[in-house]
Amino acid sequence: MQPNRRNWLIAGLLFTALFSACKKKDAAGPQRQQGNINDSIFSVFKDIYLWTDVIPDSATFKPESYSSPVSMFRSLISIKKNNTGSQPLDKYSFLDDGSTSRTIQEGIAGDMGFEVGYQTDNTLYVVYVYAGSPADKAGIKRGWQLTSVNGTTSFQVGQATDNLLNAAFSSKSATWIFRKPDNNSQTITLSPATYKLNPVLYANTYNFNGTKVGYVVFNNFVALMDVKPTFDSLFNVWAQGGVTRVIMDLRYNGGGLLETAEYLANNLAPASASNTVMYTQQFNSNVHNNNYSYIFRNMKALPYNPNMYWTEIFRNEATTYKTARFQKQGNLALTNLSFIVTYGTVSASELLYNVLKPTMKPHLIGGTTYGKPVGFINIPFGQYDMYAVSFQTFNAAGEGNYFDGIAPTLTVTDDYTHNWGSLSDPLLRSALTDMGIPASALGRMATTELSTGRIGTLRQSNRFQGMIQTLR
């Protein structure tokens, strides 16, 4: 909520593929150096882990007995169980090689720039394309059917197809064949490239007999400085144009910087919310009591602030900056607010809805969200970045235990066959009618030939999902 803060706290999820991304070798002797890294990671993990009470002491756990930090970390995060005791609760914590911090905080991507999902159990469609990416430059659009990947033309939902796609997306070059909405096919060969990530995929203003509705598709909470000019302009146009109802489409938004979520909340919230609680953070008893191991007490906060210790940063976050408050920005005065969400809506996206819930009672349209009310502080250990769950967020009403996701107000299945902004998109159409726009004003809804067996799910990938706090 305060200006000019450096990004530093990261809350997120990467699918298990990221564990294999730590590919650098230890420079020192493997056995001794490995043991030191394991001991250090374990010690700090136990100090800051939100559920530290379930983690055994070092003598019991024996961190040096694990062959690598990755295998040890997997074991650590499997200890905390869910309410039934049948599954690990921590599906969030991870180690990586610095890729997460670079991509989300610097806003630079280096890939082909599009994603696909299963429309049915054997059909794949393009679900989004980033502007300026290789896919965008090749003309690929949401709603195109993927019919071939490097010569493979048969797809079935499952690991084999996911492996095929992951290999193609991560290769130096891949050939894709698409069937466009006009039934013409197009063959495109793509290679990864570096581009500036623009997460605003689409924006529009609808006018239904004088009722103005603003609509925006937002896919990542990148650094505020990278998206603030776009949103400032959009919110200004909406305010001057008399928009009173807004739909924020976060259906694939895996989260990102919390400063951006706070900015959006302050623009969407009513003026009456100013100075009231937006959210609070809760840490474990070690952090609250300033009780840490020798290792953590002597760790400088590199690379963020070489003049501070990590313990000072944790202490500040758990005390001075524990509570974030609304400060109304802009001139939007909304009567209706809805979020389009799916299982791909994660963390910072969920928090945006949760903090506005006590004040505005926004509606959720789509499917149950992922369920991630917790966050991390990114701590580097040589070649590794450790993201261990260290805090939980709660809104002004004390709500923040949505580990199983947040259920929608109106359940609607996603449909990848329509491009952004189409009034035949069932999620957008349902959000509009839910906020009082008559179906007769939306025109006839186009039907899809792929209604039977439709599952509407994104493929499993290693895309970032989470929320990133900022240094205050």
What is the predicted pLDDT for the residue at 116?
A: 95
How much is the pLDDT for 6?
31
Task: For residue range 26-65, list pLDDT tens digits in order.
Answer: 223 333 344 589 999 999 999 999 999 999 999 999 999 9
CA pseudo-torsion sign 222, 226, 228, 231: negative
Q: Examine domains 109-196 and 200-372+393-444 and report if their fold is the same.
A: no
Token pair of 120 as six digits:
């049915």
Report the pLDDT value the prediction gives residue 427, as an integer from 0 to 100.
97
Q: What is the pLDDT along the chain (472 residues), one digit of tens a residue?
A: 333 333 333 333 333 223 322 222 222 333 334 458 999 999 999 999 999 999 999 999 999 999 999 999 999 999 999 988 889 999 999 998 877 776 667 778 889 999 999 999 999 999 999 999 999 999 999 999 999 999 999 999 989 999 999 999 999 999 999 999 999 999 999 999 999 999 999 999 999 999 999 999 999 998 899 999 999 999 999 999 999 999 999 999 998 888 999 999 999 999 999 999 999 999 999 999 999 999 999 999 987 788 999 999 999 989 988 999 999 999 999 999 999 999 999 999 999 999 999 999 999 999 999 999 998 888 999 889 999 999 999 999 999 999 999 999 999 999 999 999 999 999 999 999 999 999 999 987 665 544 444 456 666 565 655 554 554 5
**Angle between helices 30-48 and 69-77 in degrees, nearest 10:** 30
Q: Are strands 336-341 and 363-366 parallel, antiparallel or unpaired?
A: parallel
Q: What is the pLDDT of residue 233?
A: 98
**Tokens at residue 208, please?**
């239904």
Query: 374 near 11, Cβ under 8 Å?
Result: yes
Beta-carbon count within 10 A of 230 CB:
15
User: Is 3.40.190.120 the CATH number for 109-196?
Assistant: no
CB 109 within 8 A of CB 133: yes
Q: What is the pTM of this model?
A: 0.88
Let me know if domain 200-372+393-444 sits in CATH 3.90.226.10.
yes
CB contact set of 30 (below 8 Å; sequence gap of 6+):
none
**Residue 78, pLDDT score:** 97
Give the strand order in the sheet containing 277-282.
Answer: 323-325, 277-282, 389-394, 374-376
Domain boundaries along the sequence of the chain: 7-104, 109-196, 200-372+393-444
As a whole number of angstroms, the distance between CA 215 and CA 231 comes to 12
pLDDT value at position 108?
83
